[in-house]
Amino acid sequence: MLRKIGLLIALAFISSATTIIYHKTQQPDINYYQGSRLFQQGLYKDANVFYKKTLALNPSHLKALKDSAYCYQWTGEHKQAKEAFKYLIGESMRHKTIVAGLIEAVKRDKKDAFYAGLSWIPEPDA
C-alpha cells in the first residue's frame, strides 16, 4: 500500500514537472501568437509588447524579431525599425522581406547618417 502511494506521489511530481517544463519551453511561442493576433488587427504597439516578451525568452526568434521591426515601422519608430531590420539581416539574409523592411525604414528616416550612404535607395512615394 505504501508503495502505491509513493508511486502516485512520484507520478504526480513527474506530471507537474513535465507541465512546468513544457510551459516554459512553449512560452515564447505562446507570446508570439498572442502578438500575432494583435498584429493582424493592426494593434502594433500592443502586439510589440508580446513580441518583446517572446524575445526576452528567446532572443533568436526570427518571426518575433521581424514582426517587432514592422511594429516599430508602422508606429513611426523608424530608428528602432531600422536597427531591428539591420540586426535581422545579420541574422538571416534568407528573408527578402527583411531587406525590403530595412529599405523602407531607412527611406522613412532620412535624417540618419546611414541613409546618406545608401544612394541606391529610391525616394519614397509621397
**Domain count across the chain:** 1
Question: How far is residue 20's CA from residue 10's CA, in Å, rounded to a whole number?
Answer: 15
The DSSP 8-state label assigned to residue 112 in this structure reads S
123 is a domain residue? no
Largest distance between two CA atoms of the chain: 80
CATH code: domain of residue 30: 1.25.40.10
**Nine cell digits for residue 107:** 527611406
Question: How far is residue 93's CA from residue 99's CA, in Å, rounded to a whole number?
Answer: 8
111 is a domain residue? yes
Q: Which long-range contacts (CB under 8 A, 24 or more apart) does 33-36 make?
A: 35/64, 35/67, 36/67
96 is a domain residue? yes
What pTM value is reported for the model?
Answer: 0.60
pLDDT digits (tens, 9 = 90+) for 19-59: 556 555 688 899 999 999 999 999 999 999 999 999 999 98
10 is a domain residue? yes
121 is a domain residue? no
* Structural domain range at position 6: 2-116
